[in-house]
Amino acid sequence: MFGNWLKTSLLMAAIVALFGAIGFFIGGQNGMLIALLVAAAMNLFAYWNSDKMVLHMYHAQEVDAHSGGRFYQIVAELAQRAGLPMPRVYIIDEPQPNAFATGRNPAHAAVAATTGIMNLLSERELRGVMAHELTHVRHRDTLISTLSATVAGAISMLANFGMFFGGRDSEGRSVNPALAILVMIVAPLAAMLIQMAISRAREFGADAGGAEISDDPEALASALRKIEAYAHGVPLPAAEAHPETAQMMIINPLSGGGIAGLFATHPPTEERVARLLQMARGG
């Protein structure tokens, strides 16, 4: 666990440093300072408001013990097993099978699942999926993924700004236009790769924690197989419109078309399943 957190911390430091470096490239030392201040302000805003923003993007509807039925009961049971406060529970009326967790900490967490995943999975498999999402809450992955997505998006915005106004060296002189274009193309790609490395590292941990909470690694493995088989053939419009949120889902919700298909937000499902089945065998 410590190694996983160390890796994530180093990756988060790298993505913030990249943001500062782009600021330095555009405006020298003052540009770097401004960029880092902007990154801090954006992360502070994301810390307080990210859960509301994401749930609104997906038109998620909150349910309670009465309207949420058995799904709500499953989440309540698993939260108790995990030693977590009861999160807010949401349902998304979409046919693609998927689920995610959000919120800045366990006391302000929410879990959401699509109607598609509830229709596709057995109750045992659904328990495995929601245990996976509650592990994200317990590990505070929801905050980490939000902050990394915010800074990665800001790097792309800053790169677009630099594309128009060019870069400056340490003495304030304009840099070679070809170099400026190269940096402004490479920086967003590097930010995406760092963000996705953070996401992949957290998914393996959530799978292991979900198997532990549900005490049923085979059920989660079976659920991942089913979701993988169905999800990519069924569009999820909110994810396509906001691809930066794809990393939050239990399985990549994007169709794979265009540039988004070139980057993996999740580890290979086959590897995740293999690890879970090894856990089931006591390995």
pTM, whole model, 2 decimals?
0.78
Range of the domain at 243: 2-280
Q: Do 107 and 257 form a contact (C-beta atoms < 8 A)?
A: no
Q: Which two tokens stand for residue 171?
A: 């003495």
From first to last of its 283 residues, the chain has per-residue pLDDT tens of 444 556 556 666 777 777 777 777 766 667 667 767 776 777 677 778 778 989 999 999 999 999 999 999 999 999 999 999 999 999 999 999 999 999 988 999 999 999 999 999 999 999 999 999 999 999 888 777 777 766 766 676 666 666 555 555 455 555 556 656 666 677 677 776 776 777 777 899 999 999 999 999 999 999 999 999 998 889 999 999 888 788 889 999 986 554 444 456 788 999 999 999 999 998 6
Q: Nearest Cα to 172, choosing from 20, 38, 7, 24? A: 24
Q: What is the number of structural domains in the chain?
A: 1
Catalytic residue among 133, 218, 228, 244: 133
Q: Specify whether 133 is catalytic.
A: yes
CA-to-CA dists, residue 70 to 76, 97, 254, angstroms: 10, 17, 28
Q: How far apart are CA 179 and CA 111, in angstroms?
A: 44
Tens-place pLDDT, residues 84-126? 999 999 999 999 999 999 998 899 999 999 999 999 999 999 9
